[in-house]
Amino acid sequence: MGIVTKTGDKGTTGTLGGKRMLKSSSLLELNGQIDEVNASLGYLNSLLDEAEDFPAKAEVMEFIRYIQNGLYNLGTEVSSGFTIVRFDESHALLLEEKIDEMTALMPPQTKFIIFSGKKEATYTHVVRSISRRCERQFVRFLLEENVDPFPHSYKFLNRLSDYLFTLARFINQELGGEEVETIPWDK
């Protein structure tokens, strides 16, 4: 399969159903943001691969690859107009389970934190913020397309940013990064 097709040289691309649409469409913006989250997770895994070892490192990296595969499947659902469904409630619940597992291994968070510490943890927050942007685009797309109820794939993406927030804290803990609390400014 060739990479260069030249079919998009006029600002359109094809969907899974074979329809041509503008690259500026809400659908393609969403697919692009899903791709950006996925690529960012790949870079996070590269950072983790080079990081010091910690007991759950291999498990965390494997789960990130699971999430990347999930994002590929999310793109398929969206691109098919949800005629292909790859998600059910179990996918969001698995993210919640992983959040709970990491939370049980950390001291409770009692204040807001500044995104700081080890580079692997701070980059996890970057990925989290990218996933939140993608989630906002997903909502715009679902509302434009009158998709109701929201699909399970949306719930998965919504839980992903919570997972990434918790993962950033966990990575800081495991690698000895400092968790800096916010300080309210006085006037």
* pLDDT at residue 33 is higher than 90: yes
Q: So what's the pLDDT on residue 25?
A: 84
Q: So what's the pLDDT on residue 45?
A: 98
- According to DSSP H, which parts of 11-117 are helical? 26-50, 57-79, 89-104
Class of domain 23-181 (CATH, top level): mainly alpha
* pLDDT at residue 111 is higher than 80: yes
Q: How would DSSP label each residue in 66-87?
A: HHHHHHHHHHHHHHTTTSS---
| Identity of the residue numbered 129 | S
Q: Note the pTM of the prediction, 2 decimals.
A: 0.92
25 or 60, which is more confident: 60
* CA-CA-CA-CA torsion sign (136, 86, 41, 118): positive
* pLDDT at residue 21 is higher than 90: no
State pLDDT tens for residues 146-155.
999 999 999 9
